[in-house]
Each structure stands twice: as C-alpha cells, then as structure tokens.
Chains A and B, each alone.
Chain A
C-alpha cells in the first residue's frame, strides 16, 4: 500500500537558518509528489509538486524540494527561514493518477525562533 512518512513531527529553527523537512514515500513506481503548508485553522496551500523531469523543483515562498528515487524521498528545503514560515507542512503522494487521490504524511510542525 502507498504510504508517506514524515519522520520529524516537530522542528524548531532560528529565523534566518536553513531548513530541511524530510519525506519518504512507499510506492512501486514514480508517483506524483506534493508539499502543502497549513496555517492554524486554515486549509492547505500547495507549495510545490513533482511529476517528472528535473528532480529539483522550485515552489512558492522560496521553497524547493528534491526527488531522490533511490531513497524514495522528497525532502523540502529553504535556505533562510522567515518567522512567517511557522506552520504545519505536509508531504503527499498521488499514486493513482486516474483519481488524484492523495495520501498525506502525518505532518511536520515548524516553529521559528526569533
């Protein structure tokens, strides 16, 4: 069965520091991969997505993610974190391209220290 694992439930970084959020997926082929961000009490906003081609994808708000097939990973990165990046981040996989149904990870809560 498809699954997504986000090993870090909670991460704290200082403002201006770099960030990497980990995501590992389980799927037989190359799935569609997504990162979403959720602010408290809000819906989810799409940060970036990977389907094929260049394994380094750029997203909104200065985020990027790298797909590594050999490691079944799709880690999210940002070179310099801003206080407004504090939120919950979800990695998701779509292994059934016919329906677009997403399987989400448990999420990583990012706290930013001033």
Chain B
C-alpha cells in the first residue's frame, strides 16, 4: 500500500492553457473521488468514480472540466482553457467502501497566471 499518489504536485499555467492532473489510487480501492480546495475553505466535491464509471458530477464541474478513469485504476482530471478562478488545490481520494473513509493524496496545487 503506497497510498494515493497525485502528479504533478504543483502546476503553474497561463490563463487559457489546458492542464491535466493524474491520480493513482490505492490499488484495491474501487471508488475514486476528486475534490477542489481553495484557500481557507474545506474541500468541495467535484466527481466520483466507481471502477471506471463516473457516477456523479458536481455542478462545480463546468464543461471545461473532464475526468476519466479508463480502466478503473488511475484517473485524470483535465481543465481546458484555464481561468484564474481555477487556481486551487485539487485533491484525489480513494476508498473501498463508504464506511472505511477516504485516503487522500497530497494534492495538485494549480496556479493560473
């Protein structure tokens, strides 16, 4: 068990560029979540996968955001045409079942300049 791994740890991009983040969950976990956390706030739910199926998306996830989990293992979160308001920490978490709670990754901090 190597934990939840997120890459990159930090990303600085110019407004209008596309960015992609990767999350590698704990191997036996079938549930994977993406959250966004802005400074001074708690994490906000973005989307949820069970295996490869994306089962829920928040209205926070605009059309510029897309997430995939192609083989039920790692996941990617892509943001197209980034805006300054996208600057945040993007957290990935995985779990085997609800009762277990999550294991979070260390996050990817995105700065849009």
A32 touches B91 (CB 8 A): no
A97 and B104 alpha carbons, distance in the complex (Å): 18
- Across the interface, name the chain A residue whose C-beta is closest to B98: A100
B56 touches A44 (CB 8 A): no
Please tell me if A28 contacts chain B, counting CB pairs below 8 Å.
no
Query: Which applies to chain A's interface (DSSP): helix, strand, loop or mixed?
Result: strand
Please tell me if A46 contacts chain B, counting CB pairs below 8 Å.
yes
| Size bracket, chain B contacts | 20 to 34
The tally of CB-CB contacts under 8 A between chains A and B is: 65
Q: Shortest CB–CB separation between residue B28 and chain A, in angstroms?
A: 15
B104 touches A45 (CB 8 A): yes
Please tell me if A102 contacts chain B, counting CB pairs below 8 Å.
yes
Q: Which 8 A-B pairs have the closest CB atoms?
A: A104-B42, A43-B104, A100-B98, A44-B104, A43-B106, A46-B101, A101-B45, A49-B101
Binding site for A on B (CB under 8 A): 4, 6, 31, 33, 40-45, 48, 55-56, 91, 93, 95, 97-99, 101-107, 109
A-B contact pairs, 22 of them (CB 8 A): A32-B98, A32-B99, A36-B104, A41-B109, A43-B91, A43-B93, A43-B105, A43-B106, A44-B102, A46-B101, A46-B102, A46-B103, A49-B99, A94-B98, A100-B95, A101-B48, A102-B45, A104-B42, A104-B44, A106-B42, A107-B41, A107-B42
